[in-house]
Amino acid sequence: MAQVLEFKLPDLGEGLTEAEIVHWLVSVGDVVAVDQPVVEVETAKAMVEVPCPYGGVVTARYGEEGTELPVGAPLLTVAVGASAPPSPEAPVPGSGPASDPAQAPAAGSAPTPSPSPSSSGASSSASPAEAGGSGNVLVGYGTGAPVARRRRVRPPGDGLRTAPPAGPASPSGPSGPAGSAANGTAGPVAVVSPLVRRLAREHDLDLRTLSGSGRDGLILRCDVERAIREGVAASTAAPDAPAHRAPAPAAAPSTAARPAPEVSPLPPGATRVPLRGVRGAVADKLARSRREIPDATCWVDADATELLAARTAMNAAGEPKISLIALFARICTAALARHPELNATVDTAAREIVRLPEVHLGFAAQTDRGLVVPVVRDAHTRSAESLSAEFARLTEAGRTGTLTPRDLTGSTFTLNNYGVFGVDGSTPILNHPEAAMLGIGRIVPKPWVHQGELAVRQVVQLSLTFDHRVCDGGTAGGFLRRVADCVEQPAVLLRTL
């Protein structure tokens, strides 16, 4: 007899609370194997393929492509031990009362057993291992043990209670056991994601006036964005309406949703681009860095002619090719060994500088999805050849959108090669919570005094942006000078090997 198990969106790690469905890899009726990828989701960190911990027949999918789901929301259900695939496509949440497969099982599948409070990610009490789970662990979750997830806040009573849609207040109207939005009584709201709450708060939107499109009335980000758009459209649809609303009578309490902020009509051809996904995460991180870190920048021009000649000689020996960014990374880690103050972070709560023993080197990379900073772990232990291989791997993963959250977190120092854009210099914003970033400009032929004579040499501008809390200009200047000396005379690196 088939057993229908529910697979929920797992905790993808790094504090991520939601993900957007990018592409379904399976359809209802498909047979899936244990740990087979079933969906591609995009988080604020990366694009991730999520494997299913069960093997069987897919009986339901939840969410269309482009839908955002919170951690713990159902992704799909699998009939383990089913002999025939189901035929109808499962409805998406919010499309009708039968969106729960436990209440409306697909044709040809067994009735869904009652969920057990001790089960995790399944609609039966069987453990994933007993149901055919692999026991493997992907980012943030495992298939062989119950999943620890953030506890969903539920109102008193059975299930999540859905607030009524926004409407005129009725002072004499009835109210539910725990109160309702109509009478302004406080109570829990069916919201999981703190990002959804923040979005509503920023637009003065009362969540109790919304009807959630998620399962059990869960309010999703798309619900809040739709309410904001409708509020803006209502404020701009009537051209004859006064520019400002008349104030409400003093005796009438405010019980409906607070109106969205007044937004001026867009000029012809203008568009709005939501700050979400990777772009939104980058915006939040850069804004936080600028608010919290008192940064400063120093720079120097260096003659890179000898470094380029050394790279040419290394690559002519028939060994794996060494990239220029790998040589700069090798120089950078050698300089950090002499100036460990810059491989650090600031613990603002404890008012302490935390110096880090390992160098996990991030490098800024521009991709179709926006600016990302992949991380070369333990860069201080790698050779130039190993660094080249890891830079190449991470660059290709960024180009194809297959970087994992682990590939994008944990850096302690960042290289920023803006020379690839054809510019000489920059004053970048630090990659919070790091304390420093080395910038590399383009290498171009310039007149240069070499051995007492004017010559044309290959010159590069190097810049160091640093957190002035961790060190002063003397340390920053000493680090940058050490980098420049190694660029101009690569043999200097031999002293550090």
List residues with catalytic annotation. 468
* 257: three-class secondary structure by DSSP: coil
Distance of CA 157 to the CA centre of its chain: 34
Structure tokens at 69: 């789901």
- Could you give the CA distance from residue 25 to residue 23 in angstroms, rounded to a whole number? 6
Structure tokens at 367: 């991709």
Specify whether the CB–CB gap between 391 and 329 falls below 8 A. Answer: yes
- Could you give the CA distance from residue 63 to residue 10 in angstroms, rounded to a whole number? 15
- 252 CB-side CA count, 13 A: 12
Residue with tokens 């027949």, as numbered in its chain = 57
- Could you give the CA distance from residue 14 to residue 379 in angstroms, rounded to a whole number? 22
- Could you give the CA distance from residue 497 to residue 494 in angstroms, rounded to a whole number? 5
- Could you give the CA distance from residue 342 to residue 339 in angstroms, rounded to a whole number? 6
- The amino acid at residue 133 is G
Structure tokens at 205: 């939107």
